[in-house]
Amino acid sequence: MLSIIIFGGTGDLARKKLFRSLYNLYSKNILPPNVKIIGFARRDLNTESYRQFVSDELIGDFELRSEFLQTFYYFQGDLGTESSYHDLKTFLSELDDQYGVCASKLFYLSIRPELYDGVFDLLKKTQLLNTCTSDSTAWSRLLIEKPFGTNFEHAKFLDTKLSTVASEDQIFRIDHYLAKEALENILVFRFKNEIFRNAWNASFVSRIKIHMYETRGIDGRGEFYDEVGALRDVGQNHALQMLALILMNEPENFDGVHIRKNREDVLKTLTPAVCNEQNFERAQYVGYEDIITKSSSQTETFFKITLNTSMSQWNNVPFIIESGKKMAHDDTSIHVEFIDGSKIVFEISPIPRITFSFHVKESGYDYKTASRDLAFSYQENNMLVLDAYEKILYQAIAGDVTSFVTTHEVLEQWRIIDTILQQWTDLPLRKY
């Protein structure tokens, strides 16, 4: 049996992503039989009203939905109060006893990151992860959302604490980008097609650009976002992980151990380029200050950063990352630009697609060349793009760590971002 305990069971992420992803897994018979999903939150609900709360977020076959809702339970408690953890532990034990099992337990921390510190303390104190030990095949795992910490020192502090709560193989640090089909495909494209392998270095590639442009703004997350800013929000994690997948060496095996090690090896080599207005930019969209309560803010909603690596095969190739909210169009993509003008683009969203732009001769009497595309998209091939959260849950239950970041990766990411944050304070904050 499996119990999934959602800390922050009435929160935004649970409503927008987790209920639906769990429903999809349930409808495909992927969740183990007798799964129980427990929402842990402060709101005044009970199991019956929580089931209704969950139901409001679901669409689909009525009977299946009703069956799915029966797997939900509500546990009202306070994340900051020790007795809530003791009571939750009793609640989980009783559920186990009712079925005469020691269920595996997946704890999903879908909570505000500033609460981690206190929650880790209470998890340790109450030994919630060790609710039962009678079945040696039952496991306990902890899923943790980003951002993990606010800088290198803070992340290290949290990590030291976390290591007293759970062992490294029980900890699943989420970067949902790593569970996106389009990102997983980067490794297959690079390493399963011999033709590109030899061209994947500084002798052929002139530049790599990553765009993360979103038309949406900060979606009611004003207070949180204003403390964080774009560079910490998506640069410290998603963007650096995309770059790691593009630059990393071929893993000895395509498994969690080797892929994570090679991502980590790339991150260790990355350093910011010289801090000037050509390599770095910070900007804020017009109207941003109207939605936060502070009267003026220096927080960036757009950034451009330039990085270099000490990996010899990428000598002198600049890596440019640009990300912004409220941009003119949605475009998350990675552009590998070759010296001869040809290009490979990995589009992550809105339409996951891989495009190779190459030279052809125009038809006609003269010898003129033009650029044309060869492309693969999931849509045109009727291939389903699974939601990243569905895969995160699937992989965490299966114990597959590939799409989760190690403590070393998190710290390396902060090392890079901290350096930039310290260096770029003199840059003007442009409006756009």
Residues that bind ligand BG6 (CB under 6 A): 214, 233-234, 332, 349
Closest approach of Cβ 144 to ligand BG6, in Å?
A: 13
Burial class for 71, CB neighbours closer than 10 Å (0-12, 13-18, 19+): buried
Checking 216-221 for CB contacts under 8 A at 24+ apart, the result is: 216/325, 216/326, 217/285, 217/287, 217/288, 217/291, 217/301, 217/325, 217/326, 218/288, 218/291, 218/301, 218/325
Tell me how long the chain is: 432
Closest approach of Cβ 191 to ligand BG6, in Å?
A: 24
**Of 96 and 214, which CB lies nearer to ligand BG6 in the complex structure?**
214
**Of 51 and 238, which CB lies nearer to ligand BG6 in the complex structure?**
238
Closest approach of Cβ 225 to ligand BG6, in Å?
A: 7
Q: How far is CA 268 from CA 177, 244, 381, 411, in A?
A: 20, 10, 37, 9
**Of 4 and 174, which CB lies nearer to ligand BG6 in the complex structure?**
174
Q: H helices then E strands: how many in the chain?
A: 15, 17
Closest approach of Cβ 259 to ligand BG6, in Å?
A: 20
**Of 17 and 36, which CB lies nearer to ligand BG6 in the complex structure?**
17
**260: number of Cβ within 10 Å:** 21
AA identity, residue 81: T
**Of 97 and 219, which CB lies nearer to ligand BG6 in the complex structure?**
219
Residues 16, 14: Cα–Cα separation, whole Å? 6
Residue 424 DSSP one-character state: G
Closest approach of Cβ 350 to ligand BG6, in Å?
A: 9
Closest approach of Cβ 145 to ligand BG6, in Å?
A: 9
Closest residue to ligand BG6, Cβ-based? 233
**Of 150 and 349, which CB lies nearer to ligand BG6 in the complex structure?**
349
Structure tokens belonging to residue 422: 């310290």
